[in-house]
Structures are given as structure tokens and as C-alpha cells.
Amino acid sequence: MKILLHHDIARHVRTNRLAFAGLLIVLFMFLMALLAPFLGGDPGEINIAVRLQPPGFNHLLGTDDLGRDVLTRILYAARISLLVGFVAVGISTLIGVCLGALAGYYGRWADAVIMRFVDLMLCFPTFFLILAVIAFLEPSIWNIMIIIGLTSWMGVARLVRAEFLSLRERDFVVAARAIGGSDSRIIFRHILPNALSPVLVSATLGVAGAILTESALSFLGIGVQPPTPSWGNMLMAGKQTLGTAWWLSFFPGMAILLTVLGYNLLGEGVRDAFDPRMRGGK
């Protein structure tokens, strides 16, 4: 049954043009990040003789004010952005799944305590909460990933809780209890695999959100610090010469736009694929 469902989802993504376009964008950006050492040179190599050269044959996307190749820096910045996205979403998903599962399965006081904590966290605007935490810590890529993950798990917890509330009284769960299955076995072996559909959609969309957050923090100067390239700090550097060197802002901005668009399109397609009404209508 699970294999057939996976085939149905894969077929839906292939036949959904927007979702398939998102998948191609995601795969392309991942491939470019993976092959960055082979496609470009040293992202920190300075050559004042070719500073602020427009896009051309020698430098396809031009050079910056220190003569560094913009294409090379964008490729290496893709590695940073994707790393932040995946690690931050991994942290938030792990926390959200664990707390949501506990709240949904045990209910009563566990549900009340966990969901009131979720409500408390949702009272704070996430981005300003991240800014407040980073103000007390050294801005680094690891701190950024951990902080984004620790402040973005609430939606996942709510989704998992709702799924557990719906599934915990199903016949297969009642049967597992009747034969003496432990709570941990019932949660992780029987309920959780059937509750992961919305989590996968949320994680796909969450990567786009994490990349945007990291880019915004780096643009403000409290994210990834130069000379390590990230799309955000490249945008920050490019705004100084926006009138004379448009490519310094345009190409990092397009990289952010395409990557976020790709994950959003893919996430929407996966969400539709998990919807039995959408599969039935195909």
C-alpha cells in the first residue's frame, strides 16, 4: 500500500507542471552547490585588476569590488543556504514531531502544557525573536541554523498533534494496545508513519523559509559573516554599488528567488499529491 502511495505521489508530481518545475529547480540548485568546487575557483580569491567587471566571457556573472568572481561566490553561497535550510528544518521537525506526538497521543495535561507552550512561542514574532537571541550570541552559521530550528517548530507540532488526535482511536491502534504494545511502539511504529504526510509538506516549505530567514539575517549583517559568501551578505555588499554594478545585487537576488520559488512549488505539489481528492481527480 505504501509503495503504491509513493508511486501515486511521484506520478502526481511528474504530471503537475508547477510541481515538476519546482523539483527541477531544487535539483538544479542542489547540483550546482554540490559541484561548486569543480565549476568555480576560490570564492575568496581577490584580483583588483578585474574589479567591478560586468558579466562577460571571462566572468559570466561579473566580478565584485574586490575582483572576486560572482558566479563562484553564488555557487559556494548556495552550499551555505541549503545547509542552513536542511539543518534548521531538521531541528524544527524533530522538535515539532516529538512534542506534537506527545501532546496528541497522551492528551489531557500533556496536551494542555505542550500546546500552551506552543501558543506562548507563537505570541512572539519569529524573526524578531531570532534577532533578539542572535544579539546575545556570536553571529555564525551554526548559531543561525540552531536558532532558526529552535524558533520554527510550532507549526510542525500542531500538525503532528492533529494527526495523532485523529489516528489514536483508529482500529489498528486499538488492536496494538489490545495485544500489549507499549506506548513507544504504538507511537513510533503504528501512528507516526501514518502522520508524516503533512510533516513532509511542512518540511519542504520550511526549507524555503529558513533560506529566506538566513538571507535576511546575513543582509542585516548578523548572519553569515564575510568573507564566507552567502546570498544575503552578497546582497548587502551589492547595494553599495547598485547604480553602477547592478549584477552584484541582481544575481544573488535571483538565486534566492529561484530557490525559494522551487521549494514552494515543490511543496505545493507534494501537498496536492497527499490529498486523496487531488489524486482521485487526476
Instruction: Report pLDDT for 1.
Output: 39
Tell me the CA distances in angstroms from 193 to 30, 40, 122, 182, one per residue in order: 27, 41, 27, 16
84: left (phi over 0), alpha (psi -120 to 50) or beta: alpha
- For residues 157 and 159, what is the distance between their CA atoms, to the nearest angstrom? 5
Instruction: Report pLDDT for 282.
Output: 44
User: How many domains does the chain fold into?
Assistant: 1
Contact 93, 153 (CB under 8 A): yes
pLDDT tens, residue by residue, 143-193: 888 989 998 899 999 999 998 988 888 888 888 888 887 888 888 888 888
Pinpoint the alpha helices (H) of the chain: 2-15, 17-34, 36-39, 70-106, 108-122, 126-134, 141-150, 154-167, 171-178, 183-185, 197-219, 231-238, 247-274, 276-281
Contact 267, 198 (CB under 8 A): no
Q: What is the CATH number of the domain that holds 200?
A: 1.10.3720.10
pLDDT tens, residue by residue, 54-83: 998 888 898 998 889 999 999 999 999 899
This prediction has a pTM of: 0.86
Per the model's pLDDT, the better-predicted residue between 95 and 38 turns out to be: 95
Range 3-14 average pLDDT:
59
136-145, 208-217, 245-254 — which is least confidently predicted? 136-145
Contact 149, 87 (CB under 8 A): yes
Instruction: Report pLDDT for 6.
Output: 53
Contact 116, 180 (CB under 8 A): no
- For residues 14 and 22, what is the distance between their CA atoms, to the nearest angstrom? 11
Range 214-227 average pLDDT:
87
Contact 99, 157 (CB under 8 A): yes
pLDDT band, very low/low/confident/very high, at 277 (cuts 50, 70, 90): low
Range of the domain at 233: 2-281
pLDDT tens, residue by residue, 227-262: 888 999 999 988 888 888 899 999 999 999 999 999
